[in-house]
Amino acid sequence: MLNLLIMGKPGAGKGTQSERLLRHYQLTHISTGNIYREEMLKGSPIGIEAAKYISQGELVPDDLTNNIVRDVLANGNFPNGFMLDGYPRTKAQAVALDQMLEEFGMSLTAVINVLVDDSILLERMAGRRVCPSCNATYHIKNHPPKIECTCDACGTKLIQRADDLEESVLNRLRIYNEKTKPLLDYYKRRHQLMVIDGVRSSDDVFNDIVEKLGEKNGHH
Ligand code: AMP
């Protein structure tokens, strides 16, 4: 049983690594961002409430978010374990999570922090382009498409996501530094924090995480 929590600033590669880890360990994904996006699509009361904050680039209030995670943990079935992604994002959420885990007789195996410097993040995000049709991602310098501004896979014209515009990136980084960064100390004090250098190829980052998790579980 592997219960992971993955953290990282916007653009640190958390999305890529979480996808690979989910597949590798066959974990159940618990992403509050995904849950909110689904609720917004459905137009449910939770979705309507969350949209007020999400559209402003702000965090959804802790109570609402904690209740959602509580429901998932209470009713979920996690044959190989779960991976929390995008939660907790505040100290109050981390405290609430600890209480829930204790109540349900669960615990975190590790808290993975994919670490990347702010200056590198800004450069990564500024160059990121996505295909609006098939969601493939590119970077104008690090991973350019074969034909400029055009998706290799389907030929659609690439776009820059609104989230990746500099003003929005700076706002997300500011919120991260203010609200989420203190959690790193919280987990470090509990000896649960696993810091991973995120300024490497996606393969190197992934292999490092798998190796460190293996050491933690006492097998290589
Ligand atoms: P994400 O896809 O994880 O970046 O989440 C998208 C948006 O949903 C965030 O920018 C927040 O507005 C909201 N959100 C997701 N998870 C949380 C959370 N744990 N606490 C508060 N708001 C959240």
Amino acid at 24: H
Question: Would you list the domain boundaries of the chain?
Answer: 4-116+180-218
Looking at residue 154, the DSSP 8-state letter turns out to be: T
Query: Which ligand 1 atom lies nearest to the CA of residue 93?
Result: 19
Q: How far apart are CA 170 and CA 16, in angstroms?
A: 21
The predicted structure's pLDDT at residue 104: 96
Average pLDDT of the chain, as a whole number: 93
Count of Cβ atoms closer than 10 Å to residue 192 Cβ: 16
For the segment 50-63, what is each residue's pLDDT rounded down to a tens digit?
A: 999 998 889 999 99
Question: Is 161 designated active site?
Answer: yes
The percent of residues in the chain predicted with pLDDT above 90, rounded, is 77
- What is the whole-number distance in angstroms between the Cα of residue 28 and the centre of ligand 1? 18
Of 49, 29, 60, 65, the closest CA to residue 175 belongs to 60
Q: Is the pLDDT of residue 66 over 90?
A: yes
40 in Cβ contact with 51 (< 8 Å): yes
The predicted structure's pLDDT at residue 220: 44
Q: Is the pLDDT of residue 174 over 80?
A: yes
Question: Is 89 designated active site?
Answer: yes
Catalytic choice (9, 14, 124, 129): 14
Question: Is 128 designated active site?
Answer: yes
Q: Is the pLDDT of residue 68 over 90?
A: yes
Q: Is the pLDDT of residue 219 over 70?
A: no
Q: Is the pLDDT of residue 130 over 80?
A: yes
With b meaning 16 or more CB within 10 Å and e meaning fewer, what string describes 54-90? Answer: beeeebbebeebbebbbebbeeeebeebbbbbbbbbb
- What is the whole-number distance in angstroms between the Cα of residue 76 and the centre of ligand 1? 20
9 in Cβ contact with 173 (< 8 Å): yes
Catalytic choice (52, 141, 157, 161): 161
Q: How far apart are CA 116 and CA 200, in angstroms?
A: 10
Q: Given strand 4-8, what is the order of strands in its sheet?
A: 28-31, 82-85, 4-8, 110-115, 193-197
Question: Is 70 designated active site?
Answer: no
pTM of the model: 0.88
Query: Which ligand 1 atom lies nearest to the CA of residue 89?
Result: 19
What is the topology classification, in CATH, of domain 4-116+180-218?
Rossmann fold (3.40.50)
Cα 203 to chain centroid distance, Å, stands at 18
The predicted structure's pLDDT at residue 150: 97
The predicted structure's pLDDT at residue 34: 92
